[in-house]
């Protein structure tokens, strides 16, 4: 069964300022390889009304 966010979110590991986006992106990339998946999406809430999202595609 596929699950969304199987490793927990940023709050599950704590919130080191300035590192959350990197940690989430690297985890998503590792999951792409582990699951042999094609796409992953990472979203962030950066404060000040900003909410960037990144889509990774495995080649």
Q: Where are the domains of the chain?
A: 18-57
Question: How many whole angstroms separate alpha carbon 59 and alpha carbon 46?
Answer: 28
- Is the Cβ–Cβ distance between 39 and 56 less than 8 Å? yes
- Is residue 34 within a helix (H) or strand (E), and if so which, with residue range? helix 20-35
pLDDT (tens digit per residue) in 7-41: 666 566 556 666 778 888 999 999 999 999 999 99
Q: Which DSSP category does 12 fall into?
A: H
47 confidence band (pLDDT: 50, 70, 90): confident
Strands, E, within the chain: which ranges?
A: 39-43, 53-57
Q: With CA atoms as reference, report the closest residue to 31 among 11, 23, 44, 17.
A: 23
């Amino acid at each position: 069964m596929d699950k969304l966010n199987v490793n927990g979110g940023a709050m599950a590991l704590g919130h080191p300022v300035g590192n959350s986006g990197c940690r989430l992106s690297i985890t998503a990339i590792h999951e792409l390889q582990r699951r042999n998946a094609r796409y992953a999406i990472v979203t962030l809430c950066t404060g000040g009304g900003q909410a960037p999202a990144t889509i990774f595609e495995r080649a």
